[in-house]
Each structure stands twice: as structure tokens, then as C-alpha cells.
Structure 1
Amino acid sequence: MNKLNSMIAIALIAVSFTACKKDTDEPIVVVPPSDGSTLTLNGKTSESNYANIVYVDFSADKQVTADRKSFNIGLTSDGKFRVVLNPSYQTTATATSKTDITAVTIADPGTAINLNHDITDPLTVSLVDYWDGDITKTAFAEVSATDAENKVYLLSYEGNKDKDKWFKLKVTRNGAGYKIQYARLGETTIKTLDVPKNSDYNLVFVSLENNKIIQAEPVKAGWDISWSYSTYNFGLGSPYWFQDYVAINNLGNVTAAKVSTTIKTYVAFSESDITGLTFSALRDVIGSTWRTSPSQTGAGGSVKTDVFYIVKDSAGNYYKLKFNSYIAGDGGERGKPVIEYKLVKKG
């Protein structure tokens, strides 16, 4: 009898353990990518038609906005040590000849360059990061592991074009992250900010104006395209400031291809049509090619109805994308472009 009771007790313990184990094991939920949707992007506020940067994740039917003036620079989180400018904030920068930030003053000969650049001068392209998103073509050189090799830079941005409002800054490596020393050009007190990398993101952003780290972008796998006001090509190889710039998440392994409706219409485009397309990892593969500009007085302008795009996200999903409106000339509203996208092939 005692033996039987022992066996029953062991069986009950086993059952209880199994039941508890089942209760604590949470099922892995895999959310399928969105089949597609239509979104009105929230780029506009009561203050401006282009106040926000809007990031869009097709697979999640989601948009995230960031104040375009919330940061001044970004720092790469991968194995490289690169500094990028905020192209949405009319940011320009140039290197001085000095490596000691305290030695750079408003009277320094190196400050003679005009950061309030002439957009008709192709040489001013060196003052901005190149708009195709090539991380090696930035105004800042890669941050060297040797501190003495890192120059002090001058930085200007929208609304702060007076020389005494410029920032002087020096970026060095700090272990696996960065250290930034900076001040206004007319100041003598140097601020310091340590910035760690974050592998979940393409970039970690910094507001020099507010002395803090800002995370403007979603996680690197959480967006496919962005819409914003940005630095772009004037047409002469020189930079200018452009509304309605659409970038792909090239640092997050997103690529895209443009399709003419003379080859295939948006509605008719299917998975079999992907073969033969040439996908680009250039940040500006969409750029401004999706719309025509209004006149100087604001009249006209419209989305282009003869092109659409195929976007491959970081998970291998293919979406077809078209723009439906963006301005009064095409029945839309400036600052609130309407996009439409559809899943073509699941990754």
C-alpha cells in the first residue's frame, strides 16, 4: 500500500510539473507582414508644412514622426565611427586645421569659410553629407582611434547662420562609443558628452543645443522609407534645401527600384515582375522622382502618375509603392502626402 501511495504521489508531481511548465511556456507569435494600406503622412504641424521627419514601416502599417530640429548630428552604431549631419535642419560643417578645441575661436583663420553657402557653387557640396547616403561621403572624416588625428569642426544650422552661433566640436572615440567636446564658437566653456552606440539603431542622435542624446529614428528594422525636408541636389552638383524628400533606410538594408507604368501598371504588377528589376541601395533612389514641383508662387505641382516603386525591406518583403497626392495641384495637402503600398512578395 505504501508503495502504491508513493507511485501515485510521484505521478501527481510529474503531472503538476508538466502542467506548470505548459503554463509558463509562452507561445511564439509571429506577426505576418501587412498586406498593404494607404497612409496620410503627418509631416505638417500648425507651424510648418515640413516640421516633421516621417518614418514608415510598411510591414507594420506604421508611421513614426520626429521633430526635424530635435538633433544636430548622428553617430553610427555599427563597426564604423562616422558622424552624420542632420540634413533636415539645413546643417553644414567644415573641418578646421586644429585638433585642440580650446584653440579655435571666432577670430580663428579657419572660420573664414562661409557655412551660409551659395547653392549655385558646386564646391559647397563638401559642407554637407552627400544625399545618396554613402556613409563615406560625409562632411566629417571617420573618427580616428588616434585622438590627435581628429580635427575640430565648425557646424552651422538653420536659424543660426551668424558666426558666433556656430558650434565648434571635436568627436573622438570613447571605448566602443564616442566622446563629443563642443561649444558655441564665441564661448570658452567646453561641454562634454559621452555617447554609447546602440546596435538596435542605425544611428544615435545628439542635440548640441540641448546637451543630450536623442533617438529620432525607430529601430533599424522598424522603418523602410522616410519623408522630410532635406539637403538635396540643386542640379549643378551643389546642395540646396528641398521639401518632400523621400529616403530609403539604406543603412538598414532596404533597397528600392523605380518602375515605369509604360512597362507595367501599379495594379498589374505582381511577384513575377520582380525578376529583372535593378534594386538600388542609394538613399535617394526615390528622392524627388515621385513628384513635380510647384512654381515659385506655389501654383501647380503633382505626384507623378507614370512611375511607382518596389521596396524590399530588411526582412525580404517586397512592397509596391505609389504616391497618390501631396499638394493642392493634385488634390492633396502640402505636408500630408498620401501613399499607397501593397505586399507583392512575402520575405
Structure 2
Amino acid sequence: MNKFNSIIAIALLAITFTSCKKDNEEPIVVAPPSDGSTLTLNGLIAAEAGSAAGNSVFVDFSTDKQTSVARASWDLGFYGGSDFRVILNNTTAAGAKVITTTNASLATVGEADTLGLTLAVSQASPANTDFAYFDAISGNLSNTVIPTVSATAADNKIIILNRGTGGSISAKSWIKLKVTRNTSGGYTLQYGKIKETTNFTTVDVPKDGNFNFKFVSLTNGAIVSAEPENSNWDITWTYSVYQTTFNGVIVPYNFSDLVFLNSLNGVTAGVVATSTVSYADFKEANISAVTFKTNRDAIGSSWRSTSPATGVKTDSFYVIKDGAGNYYKLKFISMGAGDSGTRGKPVIEYKLIKKGA
């Protein structure tokens, strides 16, 4: 009986201790999403022209936070999701080509393989065929220049990369590279300058599901921070390869002032004409009439005009649904001479209209 009573006493003591521990634990506080704000985006690094602003700027509406990242600070992005994909730096207009020659290696690929290649956008005479040099502007990861990284190392090809000079970025050495999967579940990158035959750099890049991509600078082989965690941004404002119509044909073209969505984290956007409902009057009840698009360039360049003077368009605004299900209405206030703004430092305003569940 004494043994039984001892067991009961110990059990009661354990329950009491657990209860006390729970009572003393700090509660997890989840900050509510921001009601909205007005932000001046910091696209300028120094005294560069606003049309060639050196930064990409990431914005998180729910925390009123902006993060500026130098466009030229990275060269390749390695996908953190289930697929094995590598992206080029569209914000420097980097272009690449896959070398399909049998048994090609980093040692055997050289300057001769670059003859006739530009791997760049021609602003004067762009051609539709040049799209082959660049990753899909929609952000579709099934349409990257570098193919899916195969689990069979020998199946992965050598890539020639022009690191890009878009938006007054200084020219850098062309690179040859190869990406394989490693035993840790991430990527292994090997690369060297186009003339190099023996001195190659190797970088292991881990997958991290908290980020859309992990980024590498080929200047020093370092893994660098080039965008916030995937749940901590909604849109990015930047210079980038985009598209336009030239002689009746859609061609790649370098654009300033582009706005892209964090589509990989489920951010979507819809446009609202002010002739239908004003920004001030748009409320939760109006959301059902909005058609949301999932593509990364759902906003793109549609928010601004460069003729007759550079400035924001006032005939529309946008509704953004973030990855947490919060809905914000977004309008652009100023960005250039046509609206008394500063090129490279656009001003935006956004308001919460429906909180996520």
C-alpha cells in the first residue's frame, strides 16, 4: 500500500510541476499585421541615375519593412524548394547559354565557345530570339536557362554566363560553371573565368526552405543575403530584364521601376480602375470583384509611365493578397518629374482592408 501511495504522490507531483511550468511559460505573441503606411523606397545606392537605381527594394506590408539589396551583389540564386533550380540575376540582365557539346568540361570550354555570343539585351535592336539567354520574366521556374539540376552528375551541362551590365552595372569577367547535387541535399557549384583551365572554385550551397533562394556572388564565391526570408516580403521594386514590343514583335528589354510579386510565397495581385471605385472608397466588400493574378509580373511596369513625363499612373491602383491571407490596397504616389517625385525613390501607400484568418 505504501508503494502504491508513493506512486500516486509522484504522479501528482509531476502533474503539479507540469502545470506550474505551463503557467510560467511566456505566451507566444503574434504581432498583428500593419494597418498600412506610406513608404519612400530606397532604390539609390549613391549618386547613380534613378533610371539605373542600384538597389532592388523588398517590401513587407504586414511589418512596414523595406529591405534594399544591391542588384550587383549576387550572380546566381539556388532554389530552396523541392525542385533543384538555379536562376540568373535578371536585375543585372545576366544572360547564359548551355554548352551541349558531348564530354564538355570546365577545362575544355573556353573563349572559342563564346564566339558570336552576346548573352545580353540589345537596347538598340532587340530580337525575340534573345529570350533564350534569360530566365522567364514571369518567374516560372520551369523556364530557366540552366536546366533542372540532375541527380546524375554527368547529366548536368557546362554553362557560359555573362554576368550582365544592365542599368549601368560594371562589366565583369564571363564565367563558365557547372552545378550538381551534393550528398547533403543541396547544390555544389564549380566555376571559373572563361579562360581558366585549372583553377576552379567550388561552393556548396545548402537548401533552406525559409528562403526562396540562397544566393552566390561569383566575385568571391560567397553565399550572400540578397532577399529576405520568403515569408517576410510581398513585392520588390527593381531594375530588370523585361519585355516590350519592337517592330511588332515581343522582345526582351531592360526596364527601370519594375514591381514584382513574391509569387513563390503565394502573393497575388489584382488591378482596380479608379473609374470603378476610388482608392479611398475601396473596402473589404469590393474584394470579390477583383481578379487576382498569380504571375510574378502581375504589376510589372503597368503602374508608371515615362511619357510625356515620368510619373505614376493615377487611373488605377492594386489589391495585394499576401502569403498570410491579408489583403492590402496599394497605390503609387510619386516616382519622377511628372509627379514631383524622385526617380529611384518611389513613394507608395498601402492600407489593410482584410486581415487573414
Q: TM-score, normalised by structure 2?
A: 0.87
Aligned residue number for residue 282 of structure 1: 295
* Residues in 2 aligned to 1:313 and 1:291: alpha-carbon distance in whole angstroms: 22
Native 8 Å contact 1:160 1:166 kept in 2? no
Please say if 1:104 is aligned against 2:116: no
Match of 1:257 among 270, 291, 310: 270
Please say if 1:224 is aligned against 2:234: yes
Please say if 1:41 is aligned against 2:77: no
Native 8 Å contact 2:203 2:221 kept in 1? yes
Q: Which amino acid aligns with 2:272?
A: V
* Residues in 1 aligned to 2:337 and 2:316: alpha-carbon distance in whole angstroms: 20
* Residues in 2 aligned to 1:255 and 1:174: alpha-carbon distance in whole angstroms: 34
* Residues in 2 aligned to 1:113 and 1:343: alpha-carbon distance in whole angstroms: 48
Native 8 Å contact 2:94 2:120 kept in 1? no
314-323 or 263-272, which deviates more: 263-272
1:177-226 deviation digits (Å, cap 9, x = unpaired): 10111001012211111101111000111101121111211010000000
SS in 2 for 1:235: strand
Aligned residue number for residue 337 of structure 1: 346
Q: Label 1:97 to 1:270 Cα distance change in 2 as closer, same or farther (>3 A).
A: same
Match of 1:174 among 166, 182, 189: 182
Aligned residue number for residue 196 of structure 2: 187
* Residues in 1 aligned to 2:275 and 2:224: alpha-carbon distance in whole angstroms: 44
Q: Which amino acid aligns with 1:74?
A: G
Within a 5 Å distance, the mapping from 1:106-125 to structure 2 comes to 106-108=111-113, 111-119=115-123, 120-125=126-131
Q: Label 1:346 to 1:45 Cα distance change in 2 as closer, same or farther (>3 A).
A: same
194-203 or 133-142, which deviates more: 133-142
* Residues in 2 aligned to 1:24 and 1:84: alpha-carbon distance in whole angstroms: 47
Q: Label 1:15 to 1:91 Cα distance change in 2 as closer, same or farther (>3 A).
A: closer
- Where structure 1 has 5 or more consecutive residues not aligned to the other structure, the ranges are 1-9
Aligned residue number for residue 279 of structure 2: 266
Native 8 Å contact 1:246 1:288 kept in 2? yes
Native 8 Å contact 1:96 1:153 kept in 2? yes
Q: TM-score, normalised by structure 1?
A: 0.90
Q: Label 1:213 to 1:72 Cα distance change in 2 as closer, same or farther (>3 A).
A: same
User: What do you get for the CA RMSD once the two structures are aligned?
Assistant: 2.2
Shift of 1:161: 5.5
* Residues in 2 aligned to 1:14 and 1:207: alpha-carbon distance in whole angstroms: 54
* Residues in 2 aligned to 1:203 and 1:187: alpha-carbon distance in whole angstroms: 28
Q: Which amino acid aligns with 2:158?
A: V
185-194 or 51-60, which deviates more: 185-194
Native 8 Å contact 1:253 1:314 kept in 2? yes
Q: Which amino acid aligns with 2:252?
A: P
Native 8 Å contact 1:95 1:140 kept in 2? yes
Aligned residue number for residue 75 of structure 1: 78
SS in 2 for 1:123: helix
SS in 1 for 2:136: coil
Q: Which amino acid aligns with 1:256?
A: A
Native 8 Å contact 2:77 2:88 kept in 1? yes
Match of 2:140 among 134, 147, 153: 134
Native 8 Å contact 2:214 2:223 kept in 1? yes
19-28 or 177-186, which deviates more: 19-28
Aligned residue number for residue 59 of structure 1: 62
Please say if 1:201 is aligned against 2:211: yes
Q: Which amino acid aligns with 1:190?
A: F
1:74-123 deviation digits (Å, cap 9, x = unpaired): 01000011111111112111111244221101123x64322244352110
Aligned residue number for residue 3 of structure 1: none
- Where structure 2 has 5 or more consecutive residues not aligned to the other structure, the ranges are 1-9
Aligned residue number for residue 246 of structure 1: 259
